[in-house]
Structure 1
Amino acid sequence: MLQMFNITFYLNARLESPTVGCQSFGAKKTLKVAPESEEPQAYFEPVVKLDEIEVTTGEEEEEVLFKQRAKVFCYRETLLDKGTGKKSWCERGVGDVRFLKHKEHQKIRMLMRQEKTHKILINHLVESRTELTPNMGSDRAWVFSCYDFAEGVVETQVFALRFGNSDNAQKFKEMHDTAKANNKKLEEAGAGADAADTSAGDDAAKALETLDVKKEE
């Protein structure tokens, strides 16, 4: 009898104990929600304060007359063939080739920058002697030679421009011809002005010589 009482007491104590891992059927569960983790709001004062600098591209005084995306190739020696005289077509970059007209002296140049990085790929005034020729008979690519300034020094370069379709290539050709005619007209006008200045200078020199002779007399 004593043994049965001890077993009954032990079972009741286990059921009433708050530390029992099991729950009776139908009992409500209480879920503990962890507090929201706060994001750090740390702020560090910069040691050196840099002033904003206005960046200029050199195109501020120019008007964009033409803009078309193209891929440019350059006919030159590769690094492996440096000094051998062996040249081949090397891809130089992809971007918008543009014709820019200066608002003051009215001359037109061709400028092309690499997309995203804006590195200069082509940069030269369009000369009246520059001729465009189809590349291997293609109707969407042009080859031409010019004095280019893209690398910081004037160099004779042979370029090939390839456009997405023949229509864009033809529009480029038309704009190039317009730029040639514009710059040629300005060159001739400048040459005429220089000749007029020289003539005026000669007349002034002759007048001074006559004046000196009269003084001596």
Structure 2
Amino acid sequence: MASFGEIAAKAEENPEVLAATPAPAATEGDAPTEEESTAEFTPVVALEEVEVKTGEEDEETLFEIRAKLFVFGETLLDKGTGTKSWRERGVGTVKLLKHREFGKIRTLMRQDKTMKIIVNHVVDPRIKLEPNAGSDRSWVWSAFDFSDGELVETVFALRFGDSDKANSFKTAFGDAQKEMEAELAGEDAGDQGAGDEAAEALEGLKTGEKEEEGEKE
């Protein structure tokens, strides 16, 4: 068999010789032997499945629709200057949620991907949805929002895919306002009834005191 040196020498004289020479075949000693691992690894810490709660478990979804949210306020660069402008807060699903026990209805919207809450306020019957700059697919309103953990009066604008979707949101929002108005009226009536009962009890107590005084005389 010709040595590598002889092949190289011939290749210099005739390059076709090197091209026709196959690469050396791999032998058993060239590659490391792979052994099948039988070891078993046990995690140092056993992770328990954690139930993630959204805070919506006790609420019924009355309406939901996708939209893009804008907020009118100061940007980070304009903080403290009083200069306000519209800034986009994100795209997501806006919901009208009714608490099963207390009957309160709120507007909730989470940003896609991050699931950050960007709208969270009670559906106040006094809120008015106004067209945004004459658009037929966008509404503007003001509310006391609790998205960041404290009540802040905020001006919102929601933009929908088309006018039909925008109108469906306005209709659902108006229906929710009527429910809230009836709920609040019921609470006021209950408070008034409780007040009347307390007044009657107090009057009865005074009458009883007078009767006791008369008996003593």
TM-score range, shorter chain: 0.7 to 0.9
Query: Match of 2:42, SS?
Result: coil
Matched, 1:78 2:75: yes
Could you say which residue in structure 2 is the equivalent of 1:52? 49
Identical amino acids, percent of aligned pairs: 48
Aligned to 2:173: 176
Which residue pairs with 1:98 in the alignment? Answer: 95
* Count of aligned positions: 196
Please give the TM-score of this superposition, normalised by the length of structure 2: 0.81
Q: Distance in 2 between matches of 1:41 and 1:170?
A: 65
Unaligned runs of 5+ in 1: 1-17, 23-28
Report the Cα distance in structure 2 between the residues aligned to 1:41 and 1:93, rounded to whole angstroms.
Answer: 51
Change (3 A) 1:119 1:198: same
Any idea what the Cα deviations from partners look like across 1:188-216, whole Å, max 9, x if unmatched?
Answer: 11101100110010000110111122222
Residue 171 of structure 1 deviates from its aligned partner by 0.5
**What are the residue-to-residue correspondences of 1:23-172 with 2, within 5 Å?**
32=26, 44-172=41-169
Any idea what the Cα deviations from partners look like across 1:52-80, whole Å, max 9, x if unmatched?
22221111111112111111011111111
| TM-score, with length taken from structure 1 | 0.81
Q: Considering only CA atoms, is the larger Rg found in Structure 1 or Structure 2?
A: 1
SS of the equivalent of 2:206 reads: helix
Taking a change above 3 Å as real, the CA distance of residues 43 and 89 of structure 1, as seen in their structure-2 partners, is: farther
Q: Deviations over 1:120-162 (max 9, x none)?
A: 0001110100000010000111000001111100110000001
Pair 70,216 (structure 1): closer, same or farther in 2 beyond 3 Å:
same
**Rounded Cα–Cα distance in structure 1 between residues aligned with 2:40 and 2:78:** 54
Distance in 1, matches of 2:40 and 2:53, equals 33
Matched to 1:164, the amino acid is G
Q: Which residue of 1 aligns with 2:11?
A: none
Distance 1:70 1:41, change over 3 A: farther
Tell me: CA distance 1:204–1:75, structure 2 relative to 1, closer, same or farther (3 Å).
same
Hey, what's the Cα distance between the residues in 1 that align with 2:40 and 2:191?
65
Aligned-residue RMSD, C-alpha: 2.7
Q: C-alpha separation between the residues in 1 aligned to 2:129 and 2:141?
A: 5
**Structure 2 partner of 1:212:** 209
Structure 2 residue runs without a partner (length 5+): 8-22
